[in-house]
């Protein structure tokens, strides 16, 4: 039997990295993790056929659903036909400016665009929270679940809380991807952990630590601070001098920053 030739829809899914949720339990987990508020403006990224759109719309004030795949737009429109507070936009979410008012983002996003969607969310002044279904490994790396912390997570930690809100088995998607999914929850803190005017210096310290020399955070910090002061700060933060930079917790970074940048 000759192999089936890929259809236009198959090719579209491959290009757009689309893996639609087919498991109602996984949909429920996503909606619970998003915690939409009755007064919220919600932006949905990659709405697909509306598997998440309808249950999200039942729990928020307004929903704007973005979908660029023309092959699924008719089904999405039919799903949302009786939902007057849902607006469908056949547009690239990454190309639109964020709303002027506070809002949240939810989406079973195209996995190839995960980094770009996260950057968009972090740059949006009005973002309250983002609940994104990504590859499990990406979500674990960003939330310290592997025991390691990424540069992006550490640098944004004073303003945003990152956490892994759940795991979605690969067989919950259609077509079935090669790996499981992870629910990444990104929340803007009501009160930043550092004053706004201290954030640039904190980010510079993080860049120095992750991009420095010597294979450890201690070696990088000693390049710009006296060794004695660095050693004292490391002891206070309970960071061993030979600790690789990726194993330093965000909370320890904050202690180090406060001690090394304290007013003399």
How distant, in Å, are the alpha carbons of 14, 28, 40, 63, 123 from that of 173?
A: 14, 14, 27, 23, 29
Domain assignment present for 236: yes
Residue at a domain's end among 153, 168, 188: 188
Mean pLDDT of the chain: 91
Query: What proportion of the chain, given as a percentage, has pLDDT over 70?
Result: 92
pLDDT more than 90, % of the chain? 82
Of 182, 203, 183, 184, the C-alpha closest to 192 is 203
- Total structural domains within the chain: 2
pLDDT the model gives residue 8: 47
Residue 253 pLDDT > 50: yes
- Any domain includes 48: yes
Q: Which element (helix H / strand E) includes 139?
A: helix 136-142
Q: How far is Cα 181 from Cα 202, in angstroms, rounded to an integer?
A: 32
Rounded to whole angstroms, the Cα distance separating 59 from 35 reads: 8
pLDDT surpasses 80 at 218: yes
Do residues 157 and 192 make contact, with C-beta atoms less than 8 angstroms apart? Answer: no
- What CATH number is given to the structural domain containing 239? 1.10.8.100
E-only strand ranges, the chain: 20-21, 41-45, 62-66, 86-89, 103-107, 127-135, 160-168, 173-174, 181-188
Residue 210 CA to its chain's centroid (Å): 20
Same domain for 223 and 160: no
pLDDT at position 16 over 90: no
Per-residue model confidence as pLDDT tens digits over 60-114: 999 999 999 999 999 999 999 999 999 999 999 999 999 999 999 999 999 999 9
Strands (E) across 46-198 are located at 62-66, 86-89, 103-107, 127-135, 160-168, 173-174, 181-188
pTM of the entire predicted model? 0.90
* pLDDT tens digit sequence for 139-181: 999 999 999 999 999 999 999 999 999 999 999 999 999 999 9
Q: Average pLDDT, stretch 194-213?
A: 93
pLDDT band, very low/low/confident/very high, at 11 (cuts 50, 70, 90): very low
183 and 202 fall within a common domain: no
Task: Please tell me whether residues 218 and 252 are part of one structural domain.
Answer: yes
Task: Report if residue 72 sits inside a domain.
Answer: yes
User: What is the average per-residue pLDDT within 193-216?
Assistant: 90
144: left (phi over 0), alpha (psi -120 to 50) or beta: left
209 has a pLDDT exceeding 80: yes
| Domain closes at, from 161, 188, 215 | 188
Segment (H or E) for 252: helix 250-260
What are the angstrom distances between the C-alpha of 122 and each of 15, 98, 131, 188, 202? 25, 11, 12, 9, 17
pLDDT score recorded for residue 215? 67
Euclidean distance between CA atoms 63 and 77, whole angstroms = 13
3-state DSSP assignment of residue 131: strand
Which residues constitute the domain of residue 201? 196-260
pLDDT tens profile 41-64: 999 999 999 999 999 999 999 999
β-partners of residue 183 are 133, 166
3-state secondary structure of 123: helix
pLDDT recorded at residue 262: 72
Residue 2 within any structural domain of the chain: no
């Amino acid at each position: 039997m000759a192999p089936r030739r890929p259809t236009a829809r198959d090719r579209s899914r491959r290009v757009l990295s689309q893996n639609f949720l087919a498991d109602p339990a996984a949909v429920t987990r996503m909606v619970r993790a998003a915690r939409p508020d009755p007064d919220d403006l919600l932006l949905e990224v990659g709405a697909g056929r509306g598997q998440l759109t309808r249950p999200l719309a039942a729990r928020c004030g307004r929903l704007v659903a973005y979908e660029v795949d023309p092959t699924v737009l008719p089904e999405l429109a039919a799903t949302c036909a009786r939902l007057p507070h849902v607006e469908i936009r056949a547009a690239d979410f990454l190309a639109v400016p964020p709303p002027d008012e506070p809002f949240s983002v939810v989406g079973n996003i195209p996995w190839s665009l995960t980094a770009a969607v996260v950057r968009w969310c972090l740059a949006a002044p009005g973002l309250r929270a983002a609940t994104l279904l990504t590859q499990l490994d990406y979500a674990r790396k960003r939330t310290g679940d592997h025991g390691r912390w990424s540069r992006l997570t550490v640098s944004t930690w004073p303003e945003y809380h990152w956490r892994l809100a759940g795991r979605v088995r690969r067989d919950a998607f259609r077509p079935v991807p090669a790996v499981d999914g992870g629910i990444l929850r990104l929340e803007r803190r009501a009160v930043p952990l550092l004053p706004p005017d201290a954030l640039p210096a904190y980010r510079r310290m993080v860049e120095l630590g992750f991009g420095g020399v010597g294979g450890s955070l201690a070696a990088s910090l000693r390049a710009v601070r006296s060794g004695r002061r660095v050693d004292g700060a490391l002891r206070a933060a309970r960071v061993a001098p030979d600790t690789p930079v990726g194993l330093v917790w965000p909370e320890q970074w904050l202690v180090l920053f406060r001690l090394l940048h304290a007013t003399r």
